[in-house]
Chain A
């Protein structure tokens, strides 16, 4: 079974502080992992995919297969980063499963 766990419902940081949004997964095969973001009154959109090893808007995420984690990090949070963040896993059956999401608030 595919499962994604995001342990924090809410995360609040000050502008300029580092931020880490946690994501753990459960999947017996080789997973494909993503981070999606939903800004206020906007559609859900892709932020990062693990295979690209890219940095988008200063965010990075590393897949740790040993710890089955895909945490999202940014060294210096900005107010415009305030949003709902979802970790997602796609397995071999093409199911795309999401975690419960973490609401990030960056305070001035």
Chain B
């Protein structure tokens, strides 16, 4: 059981480039989340999804886009990378039952130069 898988693990982007961070889960979870983790700032919610075809903004959505065409996949898109988007990105998923824990991916470390 792979759980939540994120690719790539590391990436360096130039300002203005675009990229997609991939997230896949094999637990048939309804809910999926994208966070960014900055030193001293904790985890900030970027976007989340409560099921295929449904996405919603989190605390810091600007500069990002998401889609949820299947239950398994929840890619995060950066269209015009900026240095402020240098961060570690985490994807998580959880079941629809109350109090179910969220399972996290191993993270993607992104540097924008």
- CB-CB nearest in chain B for A44: B104
The verdict on A51 contacting B105 (CB below 8 Å), with A9-B40, A95-B48 known, is no
Task: Encode contact with B along A83-98: 1 for CB under 8 Å, 0 otherwise.
Answer: 0001010000111111
Tell me if A100 is interfacial: C-beta within 8 Å of chain B: yes
Q: Are A44 and B90 in contact (CB under 8 A)?
A: yes
Task: Report which residue of B43, B44, B50, B56 has the largest number of chain A beta carbons within 10 angstroms of its beta carbon.
Answer: B43
Q: Are B98 and A32 in contact (CB under 8 A)?
A: yes
| Interchain CA distance A32-B48 in the complex, whole Å | 17
Main secondary structure of the interface of B (DSSP, over half): strand
The residues of A that contact B48 with a CB separation of less than 8 Å are: 94-96
Interface residues of B in 58-113 (CB under 8 A from A): 58-59, 90, 92, 94, 98-99, 101-102, 104-107
Q: Are B105 and A43 in contact (CB under 8 A)?
A: yes
Question: Separation in Å of the B112 CB from the closest CB of chain A?
Answer: 22
Q: Are B42 and A6 in contact (CB under 8 A)?
A: yes
The verdict on A101 contacting B101 (CB below 8 Å), with A44-B90, A94-B31 known, is no
Partner of A49, one of B33, B44, B59, B99: B99
| Interchain CA distance A6-B42 in the complex, whole Å | 10
A-B contact count (CB 8 A): 54
The residues of A that contact B41 with a CB separation of less than 8 Å are: 100
Question: Separation in Å of the B48 CB from the closest CB of chain A?
Answer: 6
The residues of B that contact A45 with a CB separation of less than 8 Å are: 101, 104
Task: Encode contact with B along A28-71: 1 for CB under 8 Å, 0 otherwise.
Answer: 00001010100000011110010110000000000000000000
| Interchain CA distance A1-B110 in the complex, whole Å | 29
Partner of A100, one of B42, B90, B105, B106: B42
- Please name 18 pairs of A and B residues whose Cβ atoms are closer than 8 Å in the assembled complex, sorted by A: A32-B98, A32-B99, A34-B101, A43-B106, A44-B43, A44-B90, A46-B101, A46-B102, A51-B98, A51-B99, A94-B50, A95-B56, A96-B31, A96-B48, A96-B94, A97-B59, A98-B43, A100-B42
